[in-house]
Structure 1
Amino acid sequence: MKRWAILGAAVVLAAGSADADEVLDVAERYANGGGYHWTPGNSGSPVTLTHRGQVVLPKGEGSFCCGYTLAVVFEVAQQRGLLDNKTFEQLKRFQRDWYGDGPNSRETLVVKAVERLGIGCRVEHADAQPGDFVQLWRTSGSGHSVVLLDWVREGGEIVGLRYRSSQKSTDGIGDRTEYFADAEGKGGSVVRQRTYVCRLDAPPANDRDHTMEEANRLVDAGQYAEAEEALRALIPDPTAPVASEAAIALERIRRTRREFSLTEEELLAEVRRQVPDADESDLARWRDAGDLQLRVIDGKTRYFRRAASNLFRFNSDAARRREKQDQRQGFDQTGLIARLVAMSGNADGPAIYPVKHHVTYTLTVKPNNPHAAKGATVRAWLPYPQEYQQQRNVKLIRSAPAEHQIAPPRQGHRTIYLEQEVVDPAKPLSFVAEYEFVTHAWAPRLNPAMVLEYDKIGELYTTYTAERAPHIVLDDPTRRLAAEIVGDEPNPLIRARKIFRWVSANIPWCAEMEYSIIDSLGQKGLSAGRGDCGVQGTVFITLCRAAGVPARWQSGWQTKPGEENMHDWSEFYVEPWGWLPADASHGVRKHADPRVQDFLCGGLDPYRMIVNLDYAQELHPPKTSYRSEPNDFQRGEVEIDGHNLYFDEWNWDFDVHTEPLEPSPAQE
């Protein structure tokens, strides 16, 4: 089992004057003793730490130093409102940094943790005072994370420190004194040069927060240029990787401008390719009907870059006038599902009809990138298949470069990580991963009469029925809608089917803007009444949770021959079957057999590559800058010396070959 972290460097979080009492009050509220348990798998925290209903760190057995100090700083930061605008994923990263498990945090630990989260900063020893947090390195190589009670001074010189923490000598929480190794005659072992000091911020109410609020207001009002000017004033180094709140907000504006870039003349030209007699009055009528996606940016109307294709999905008049399109015969998914239903009746288990996949994934950075100086390090994360339930026998055949890191199974986003140096900036730079795997169809025989009760106080139920803002919001209107859909139905399997049918009927698919500029996938789908597969899936997850059915994200690629593409779907949980897939985007199938109609609510075809078991998770290894896609992971991610490369700076190629390993009934 994994140890939660190393015991790290001496770090002091100076609270400062009146704020020091707040830290000391929290630190002293934990009773002495309680047992010191520095053991594998133990969190070390004396309490469970939660944020917006999600468990950041469970309560451990007894405590150890990092867990105790994290519990104190977490509570103080919550009291000061420093965590109000932080996400659950940010706080998980904060915990890992605090424990020394985060990127570049193994030396300075909490200094890196508070600075990366934006709730504190480093200070000098002379500025440290009681109520700070300290984590120290010793000459032996061991370390200790503590709350500073006072410096020990002799002749005006600091020779040691008195602190409160959890340690073996006090069998858990208690007070102790240690001395610096360079203090004569004290026999100390604390390394003064590796004692790092930082300060937790005071409660937010400053000009920076006001400026961020004003910038957000300006964006909402369509005044992008003014918002950009306000945000640039908050970014001390505009050449640094995009990682701060202000820099990310500025980057989101840039991406929004890219998504909404078409003038009316450009849009009309696109529409006329399929409706040659369309004119400005048609655009005005379609716009007034709400069927042309647009934003008013700095006083000018700009249309979504895929507004023309969506128009024919939204507007019956435009669809009627559209020149006849070639109707190509696509993959018969419903026919396959009908055969899977027939096969499942005699199957020994839910995994049937295995399909072998062979994938070559190539990511190529375009030449002459402004960050690609000779000797620069290019880091790339490519999609890699999970070992999960119906997806098995994952095997890497080759990678280029050959040296690689594969994320552990069940990681939220499963990646293969590659890096190389730029030799010639004028040439493209490619990364390749070739692998194979087998995906089965998942076709459990579901019977509502077999459904078991949930353990409603267990971690699984409480986690996957909780709100997870901003994308899964369980506000009163959402809960009322879920209640209207499921009615008084007590059976969670039937409740999930009702929600599946509602989403299939009421949230039609459309081409979607990049997720990085959508504030809430779930709320966007519910308010607009349309969205792509990720939006549809998040609406399904949100409504399931609101109805008391645990649900979560899953995504990757669909690999139906001739229709290979990125795709998102979901899972919901019902005992005794456990996690069941649901594809609300492909939805209810048109077929006489109800089992075929609802197959994709509990079952799944085998033409999938499962990459992601969650959304908005940290990559492996972590990325420095704001991701091109911060929620999903399908195309990959790239950065050069810490600078993100957006999708228009590189190309991807997903080459997949599929081979059924068993004949379906129609092929026998």
Structure 2
Amino acid sequence: MYYDLSYLSVPLPEDVIKLKNYGDFDGAAQFIKHLLTQSVPEALKKRLEMELDILRMVGINEYPFNEEEAEKMMQEAFKDYQKGELTSLKEKGQVDWLYVNGRVHFQRRFLMNLIKTQAEYEARLLVKEDNQVDQLRKQELTHNVQLMKKQGFRKVKIYLKTSIRVKKEYERPGEKVRVYLPIPKECKQLSSIEILSTSPEATFIAPENAEQRTVYFETILEEDQVFSVEYSYVNQVDYVELDPDKAAEVQPKFDLEEQLPHIRFTPYLEHLLTEILAGETNPIKKARKIYDFITTKVSYSFMREYFTVENISEYAAVNLKGDCGVQAILFITLCRMAKIPAKWQSGLYVSQYYTGCHDWAQFYVAPYGWVFADLSFGGGAKRTGDEARWNYYFGNLDVFRMPANSVIQKDFNPPKQQLRADPIDNQRGEFEYENQGLPYAYLDVNQVFISMEELGE
């Protein structure tokens, strides 16, 4: 089932909202099922059908810890922990929570989020995490900035292997499955893309220009079966310093439209953009003002599944928090509202120190063409006082990337039949039986960096 997510812009009936806000997800689902037996407008019907799947994702799955459990986790994690600290963090909006059956429950990664985003809590850990890898990664990024400025470009060949499997307790051997894994796609910085091997043999490999490119498997599931793909590609990123004085008087008019529900020009965002721009008309300066706002005012925070958020750009702008994808969508939305073409890019961050999911943005300014903005990397650099790296990620990108997606909310080739684990983006892959799409809680995903070779021109 591929949902047209634009229907998330349709408002929910008041009684559904009341039940949902109280955390009575079963009651909300029952009320929706009742409404669907009535004659309701088609757009409302589609919104209600979508809400049933959203309700299945939230609650105990996304918010499993009640206050007593969360308090115990805090006591076990931090030294000098005082009872009531968690309540204080909740009241300040520094931990994600909601009601489940009228009781406060905390998001499944609330503790990890505190450690990652609050230096005070990282320092108070009873068991210190080994941050050597983080330090090496930061050094790698700083070195990349230095090399790019010195050489004017970097060109590398990267080898990766990714895999997906269903966890043992959800395995149903003998049943037909359809499996998708993201692979590199045609884009500005990539060339020489090669699919080196798949296991089992791939049923179909989407063309390089697919907006969300995948390798597809359709087979009868075997016990303990792993689906994998190994590939290589050449990534060349050119260094650019955007000069506002060189911006062309006439700018292009593509990639300026809304894409509901998340790239949406709401009244609040109109007010916010007016405040951010303060009358500025130069496109490069406008884009920089938007970048500066997000990287200094929107705090990095882990997110619940995107499918459960009705409007990601407004969520970021109202709550002033969000992960890499949330920040990128806000940047794209505000740029488009400011008549600056902007679009999505996502896939993996890839290096010997870390390989994992990541999202970023592109924007277009004549005569430079498409350039990059990495809001979360820029914001992270700013928070640690690295002004050079903060400035770098306005206009530039590092070479440690595997782009698989160029648009949000696009179906695969071939189309998926059941509900996607992530209907917006695809960085980890998807797995479905004939009658059920599997959430990521049911899956094991592995992304393995093999090698990276530095190339000349």
What TM-score, normalized by structure 1, do the two folds share? 0.61
Letter in 2 for 1:446: L
Q: 2:196 aligns with which of 359, 374, 397?
A: 397
Q: Which residue of 1 aligns with 2:215?
A: 416
Q: Could you say if the C-alpha distance between residues 497 and 307 of structure 1 is closer, same or farther in structure 2, counting changes exceeding 3 Å?
A: same
Displacement of 1:453 in angstroms is: 3.2
Q: How many pairs are equivalent?
A: 439
Aligned match of 1:547: 338
Going from structure 1 to structure 2, the CA distance change for 1:429 and 1:546 (only over 3 Å counts) comes to: same
User: Superposed, which structure 2 residues align to 1:624-635 within 5 Å?
Assistant: 624-635=417-428
Aligned to 1:302: 105
AA in 1 matched with 2:257: A
- How much has 1:410 moved relative to structure 2? 2.7
1:453 aligns with 2:249: yes
- Report what 1:109 is aligned to: none
Q: Is the CA contact 1:553–1:614 (under 8 Å) kept in the aligned structure 2?
A: yes
Within the alignment, does 1:468 sit opposite 2:270 as a pair? no
Report if aligned partners of 1:366, 1:429 keep a CA contact under 8 Å in 2.
no
Does the 8 A contact of 2:342 with 2:362 survive in 1?
A: yes
Bigger mean CA deviation after superposition, 311-320 or 616-625: 311-320
With a CA cutoff of 8 Å and minimum separation of 6, indicate the structure with the bigger relative contact order: 2
What residue number does 1:330 align with?
136
Alignment of structure 1 residues 285-296 onto 2, 5 Å: 285-296=88-99
1:533-572 correspondence to structure 2 within 5 Å: 533-572=324-363
CA 1:228–1:295 in 2, change beyond 3 Å: closer, same or farther? same
Match of 2:168 in 1: 367
Q: Corresponding residue for 2:238?
A: 442
In structure 1, what is the Cα distance between the partners aligned to 2:344 and 2:201?
32
- After superposition, what is the alpha-carbon deviation per residue over 1:16-67, rounded to whole angstroms, capped at 9, x for unaligned? xxxxxxxxxxxxxxxxxxxxxxxxxxxxxxxxxxxxxxxxxxxxxxxxxxxx
Closer, same or farther: CA 360–296 of 1 in aligned 2, 3 Å: same
Superposed counterparts of 1:567-606, under 5 Å: 567-587=358-378, 589=381, 596-606=389-399
Q: Give the CA deviation at 1:565.
A: 1.1
SS across alignment from 1:598: helix
Q: Distance in 2 between matches of 1:213 and 1:284?
A: 29
Q: Is the 8 A contact 2:157 2:455 kept in 1?
A: no
Structure 2 unaligned segments of length 5 or more: list them: 38-44
Q: Distance in 1 between matches of 2:143 and 2:421?
A: 37
Deviation at 1:577, TM superposition (A): 2.2
Cα distance, 1:561 vs structure 2: 2.3
1:39-438 equivalence runs, <5 A: 87=5, 214-233=15-34, 246-257=48-59, 258-312=61-115, 318=121, 321-323=124-126, 325-328=129-132, 329-331=135-137, 332=139, 333-344=141-152, 352-367=153-168, 369=170, 372=172, 374=174, 376-423=175-222, 427-438=223-234
**1:518 CA drift (Å):** 1.5
CA RMSD between the two structures: 2.9
Change (3 A) 1:245 1:369: farther
> Offset at 1:224?
1.7
What is the Cα deviation at residue 320 of structure 1?
Answer: 5.6
* Contact 2:161–2:450, Cα closer than 8 Å, also in 1: no
Q: 2:155 corresponds to which letter in structure 1?
A: P
2:409 is matched with 616
* Counterpart in the other structure of 1:528: 319
CA contact (8 A) 2:7 2:261 kept: no
Judged with a 3 Å threshold, the aligned counterparts in structure 2 of structure 1 residues 556 and 336 are, in CA distance, closer, same or farther, namely same
Q: Alignment partner for residue 433 of structure 2, among 640, 644, 659?
A: 640
Alpha-carbon separation, structure 1, partners of 2:26 and 2:98 = 14
- 3-state SS of 1:218 partner: helix
Q: Distance in 1 between matches of 2:266 and 2:155?
A: 41
- Compute the displacement of 1:642 (Å): 4.1
Distance change in 2, residues 1:400/1:322 (3 Å) = closer
SS of equivalent to 1:586: helix
Higher helix share: 2
**Equivalent residue number for residue 37 of structure 1:** none
**Alignment CA distance shift 1:593-1:625 (3 Å):** closer
In the aligned structure 1, how far is the partner of 2:165 from the partner of 2:148? 38
Whether the 8 Å CA contact 1:482–1:544 is kept in 2: the answer is no
* SS of equivalent to 1:539: helix
How far off its partner does 1:368 sit? Answer: 5.3
Unpaired runs of at least 5, structure 1: 1-84, 91-208, 237-242, 345-351
Identity of aligned residues (%): 27
**Closer, same or farther: CA 382–320 of 1 in aligned 2, 3 Å:** closer
How big is the shift at 1:318? Answer: 4.2
The verdict on how the C-alpha distance between 1:564 and 1:86 changes in structure 2, with shifts beyond 3 A counting, is closer
Q: Which has the larger displacement, 385-394 or 446-455?
A: 446-455
Q: Structure 1 residue 382: deviation in Å?
A: 0.3
Shift of 1:430: 1.8
Q: Distance in 1 between matches of 2:26 and 2:216?
A: 37
Do the aligned partners of 1:412 and 1:612 also contact (CA within 8 Å) in 2?
yes
1:364-407 residue CA offsets vs partner (Å, 9 max, x unmatched): 1233537x363x21000101101211111100111122143122
Question: In 2, are the aligned partners of 1:377 and 1:420 still within 8 Å (CA)?
Answer: yes
Alignment of 1:501 with 2:292, yes or no, is: yes
Question: Structure 1's 216 and 624: CA in aligned 2 closer, same or farther, altered over 3 A?
Answer: farther
Q: CA-to-partner distance for each residue in 1:95-115, whole Å, 9 max, x for gaps?
A: xxxxxxxxxxxxxxxxxxxxx
Equivalent residue letter for 2:451: T
Any conservation in 2 of the 1:268–1:279 contact (CA below 8 Å)? no
Distance 1:234 1:626, change over 3 A: farther
**Alpha-carbon distance in 2 for matches of 1:630, 1:422:** 23
Map Cα deviations across residues 545-595 of structure 1 (whole Å, 9 max, x no partner). Answer: 222211111111011321211000001111122211110110164699977
Distance 2:183 2:274 in 1: 38
Write the deviation string for residues 413-432 of structure 1: whole angstroms up to 9, x where unpaired.
11111111135xxx222211
Confirm or deny: 8 A CA contact 1:448 1:494 kept in the other structure: yes
Deviations 1:308-341 (A, max 9, x none): 2223456576456444554422312123212211
- The answer to whether the Cα contact below 8 Å between 1:380 and 1:639 also exists between their aligned partners in 2 is yes
